[in-house]
């Protein structure tokens, strides 16, 4: 069954704003537009921003402590303790049964790696740590890549760097409002492919703020002027997952969470939470 298309509603008895008119114009062209409930209020955006300060602080803290010989459970403990010490809650803990406070994804693991006491970091590993923080009911989500020991081989370093560039390219696409999700994905995929890498298609960025995952899905591949229109007040993540080999992935049957590249070549990912404003996106968590 085809998904029901959103409709933009102007409140009865009010004059359409400039934003209303822009959205209605794109809707008349058959484009996917948001519903009004996806537009965050200034108070909600400020709440998400405060959660983002903590989430960013977690990833900053890890920069100085991730080292060879520590386990991914050590990382998770640091994330849990920092989050609680700042009056917040780690959103992953208990989410649909997920047992830890963050995701730790090493080398060929794309995302959703579960921290444990047996996984020991080695010099040259590349690891993504993905955190989502809840503060006063507001969610902020971001992740970073870390090179264990500070050095890795040239091909892995290029992968980490290109993944970062892909995130920044997605941000640049959103330097003005009223762009489409497909504009982001098209630019990211083009850059990844030009550098000899692929883009994961089975996972995406997403809306966030009042819940862990909201509309829209933010694919990191696609065609321009497709996907949902991004308008002021929308909060969402861009989080390209860039693979050294094939874009195809599988989920580890042992835990039903860990996503691994099909060819078991390395993957890299960076993620920020953004709010779209009248002048383009602003970073709320990085």
**How far apart are the C-alpha atoms of 132 and 175, rounded to whole Å?**
24
**pLDDT of res. 9:** 87
**pLDDT of res. 2:** 43
Q: Classify residue 149 as left (phi > 0), alpha (psi -120 to 50) or beta.
A: left
**pLDDT of res. 7:** 86
Q: What is the per-residue DSSP string for 154-190? A: HHHHHHHHHHHHHHHHHHHHTSSSSEEHHHHHHHHHH
> Mean pLDDT across the stretch 48-66?
98
Q: Given strand 267-269, what is the order of strands in its sheet? A: 198-199, 241-243, 267-269
> Mean pLDDT across the stretch 117-130?
98
Q: What are phi and psi of 222, to 5 degrees?
A: 140, -170
Does 168 score more than 60 pLDDT?
yes
**pLDDT of res. 47:** 98
> Mean pLDDT across the stretch 88-112?
98
Chain mean pLDDT for the chain: 97
* Domain assignment present for 279: yes
> Mean pLDDT across the stretch 44-68?
98
CA distances from 84 to 19, 54, 170, 210 (A): 39, 10, 32, 19
pTM for this entry: 0.96
The pairing of strands 198-199 and 241-243 is: antiparallel
Does 57 score more than 80 pLDDT?
yes
Containing structural domain, residue 155? 34-285
For residue range 61-91, what is the model confidence (pLDDT) as tens digits?
999 999 999 999 999 999 999 999 999 999 9
> Mean pLDDT across the stretch 86-102?
98
Residue whose token pair is 């920092």? 82
Beta bridge partners of 229: 180
* Domain assignment present for 186: yes
* Domain assignment present for 2: no
* Domain assignment present for 27: no
Q: Residue 127, class by beta-carbon neighbours within 10 Å (0-12 exposed, 13-18 middle, 19+ buried)?
A: buried
Our count of domains for the chain comes to: 1
Higher pLDDT, 12 or 110: 110
Domain at 192, CATH number: 3.90.230.10
For residue range 185-241, what is the model confidence (pLDDT) as tens digits?
999 999 999 999 999 999 999 999 999 999 999 999 999 999 999 999 999 999 999
Whether the Cβ atoms of residue 240 and residue 189 lie closer than 8 Å to each other: no
* Domain assignment present for 18: no
Q: What are phi and psi of 90, to 5 degrees?
A: -75, 115
* Domain assignment present for 23: no
> Mean pLDDT across the stretch 140-155?
98
* Domain assignment present for 3: no
For residue range 270-284, what is the model confidence (pLDDT) as tens digits?
999 999 999 999 999
Query: Would you place residue 1 in the very low, low, confident or very high pLDDT band (cuts 50, 70, 90)?
Result: very low
* Domain assignment present for 11: no
């Amino acid at each position: 069954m085809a998904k029901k298309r959103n409709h933009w509603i102007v409140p009865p008895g009010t004059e359409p704003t400039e934003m209303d008119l822009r959205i209605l114009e794109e809707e008349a062209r058959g484009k996917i537009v948001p519903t009004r409930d996806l537009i965050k209020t200034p108070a909600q955006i400020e709440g998400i921003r405060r959660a983002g300060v903590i989430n960013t602080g977690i990833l900053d803290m890890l920069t100085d402590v991730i080292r060879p010989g520590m386990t991914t459970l050590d990382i998770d403990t640091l994330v849990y303790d920092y989050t609680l010490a700042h009056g917040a809650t780690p959103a992953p803990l208990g989410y649909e049964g997920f047992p830890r406070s963050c995701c730790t994804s090493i080398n060929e693991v794309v995302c959703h790696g579960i921290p444990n006491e047996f996984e020991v970091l080695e010099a040259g590993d590349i690891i993504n740590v993905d955190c989502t923080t809840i503060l006063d009911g507001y969610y902020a989500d971001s992740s970073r890549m870390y090179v264990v020991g500070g050095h890795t081989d040239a091909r892995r370093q290029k992968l980490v760097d290109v993944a970062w560039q892909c995130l920044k390219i997605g941000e640049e696409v959103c330097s003005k409002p009223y762009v489409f999700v497909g504009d982001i994905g098209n630019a990211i995929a083009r850059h990844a492919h030009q550098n000899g890498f692929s883009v994961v298609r089975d996972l995406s960025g997403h809306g966030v703020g009042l819940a862990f995952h909201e509309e829209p899905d933010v694919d990191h591949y696609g065609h321009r002027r497709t996907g949902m229109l991004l308008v002021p007040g929308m909060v969402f993540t861009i989080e390209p997952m860039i693979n050294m080999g094939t874009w195809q992935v599988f989920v580890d049957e042992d835990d039903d969470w860990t996503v691994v590249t099909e060819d078991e070549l390395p993957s890299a990912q960076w993620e920020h939470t953004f709010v779209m404003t009248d002048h383009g996106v602003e970073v709320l968590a990085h």
